Structure 1
Amino acid sequence: MLRTWVIDHLGTADENSDWSPEALGADTLAALAFSPSEAAALAGNWRELPLEQIHELRRHKNLTAHLERLIGYLQPGPTRDRLLPWIETRQLLP
């Protein structure tokens, strides 16, 4: 969220910077252990999951909190395409 705030308020930087939307998108994808479809499937019965998996789903929800704002900065391409499904999936997570 901090990196998105910096991009919103101070602008973007080149692709090799921490303040680049593309770098933030890539870092977000690298931090996610589940695909959107895997996370959605687990979220369907999250109350029955072990606490570790519930925690991991919450972690994914937190890691994707900035995506609605970040998507507007991303160029069309694979990173944007892989992040878009997370916006809808995030709403399903506990």
Structure 2
Amino acid sequence: MRGIGAQGSTRALQQDFMLRTWVIHHLGPESENSDWSPEALGTDTVAALAMSPSQAATLAGNWRERPTEQIRELRQHKNLTAHLEWLIGHLQPGPTLDRLFPWLETRRMLP
């Protein structure tokens, strides 16, 4: 179910990322269509993240003591990076991969 406001848009974006990753992983990438391009999906993922992996890791260290809004933001980052385990293997070496790879470890710390 889609929600209203930021939570709904985060959920819709996460679902979009997961669908695109599934198609890329199972049917193969397609460079002519940006929806099925790993690089385009990687760029879209980077653009959706409001903080860096190091910022998220710092906040996650004592997340139970954080205000609800910060916990929600950390959870949104975890959801928005859920597809990375499958996407990373399809990305070419470069700045997008370099920015996303640290999220694999960071998201394990997030609530």
* Equivalent residue letter for 1:56: E
TM-score between both structures, scaled by the size of structure 2: 0.81
Corresponding residue of 1:2 = 19
Sequence identity, in percent?
A: 79
Instruction: Measure how far apart 1:76 and its partner are.
Output: 0.3
Which residues in structure 2 correspond to 1:3-22 (within 5 Å)? 3-14=20-31, 17-22=34-39
How far the C-alpha of 1:53 sits from its partner, in A, is 0.7
Asked whether the equivalents of residues 15 and 23 of structure 1 are also in contact (C-alpha less than 8 Å), the reply is: no
User: What are the superposed Cα offsets for residues 10-63 of structure 1, whole Å, 9 maximum, x if unpaired?
Assistant: 211116511100000000000000100000000001011111110010000001
Q: Where do residues 27-66 of structure 1 align in structure 2 (5 Å cutoff)?
A: 27-66=44-83
SS at match of 1:33: coil
Aligned to 1:84: 101
Gaps of 5+ in 1: none
- Over aligned residue pairs, what C-alpha RMSD do you find? 1.0
Residue aligning to 2:92: 75
Gaps of 5+ in 2: 1-17
Asked if the contact 1:58–1:93 (Cα under 8 Å) also holds between the matched residues in 2, the reply is yes
CA distance in 2, matches of 1:9, 1:87: 20
Question: TM-score, length-normalised on structure 1?
Answer: 0.96
How far did 1:70 drift? 0.5
Number of aligned residue pairs: 94
